[in-house]
Amino acid sequence: MALALAAGACGRGSEERGRRLYAEHGCAVCHGASGRGDGPSARRLDTPPRDFTDPRAYRQGSSREEIAASIRKGGGAMPAFTDVSESEAADIAAWIVSLQQQRAAGGGQP
């Protein structure tokens, strides 16, 4: 039981770090502060940014690993963020997956 609690706490730490890194790396400019694809630049883009709360919106997969790969390699209209380390991308992806989970749990807007 203690191991499960520690793993959960570690996951929350990754999510919190991911939320902070998401803001620091400018993800919110396009994807919005809550990951809904409604950032201040979204209206000016030819291809609308993904709503991260909706797993059906993902073209390259919605798992933590697939999202982290998309961050680093880019895809579609999104450029590659090669300045984001693998560890940082994994933490950002953990936060994005938490947005999906909040929506699925009926949490509405995170």
CATH number of the domain bearing residue 72 = 1.10.760.10
- Asked, for residue 67, whether it belongs to a domain, the answer is yes
- Domain span at residue 69 reads 15-104
Alpha carbon of residue 23 to chain centroid: 11
- pLDDT of res. 9: 46
Question: Structurally, how many domains does the chain consist of?
Answer: 1
Q: What does the block give as tokens for 84?
A: 């984001």
**Would the pLDDT of 108 be above 60?**
no
Contact (CB, 8 A) for 76 and 105: no
Contact (CB, 8 A) for 67 and 22: no
pLDDT in tens, 23-58: 999 999 999 999 999 999 999 999 999 999 998 888
Nearest CA-CA partner of 93 in 6, 9, 15? 15
- Asked, for residue 109, whether it belongs to a domain, the answer is no
- Asked, for residue 70, whether it belongs to a domain, the answer is yes
- Asked, for residue 44, whether it belongs to a domain, the answer is yes
pTM exceeds 0.75 for this model: yes
Percent of the chain with pLDDT over 70: 86
Query: How many angstroms separate the Cα of 63 from the Cα of each of 16, 72, 81?
Result: 18, 14, 18
- Asked, for residue 96, whether it belongs to a domain, the answer is yes
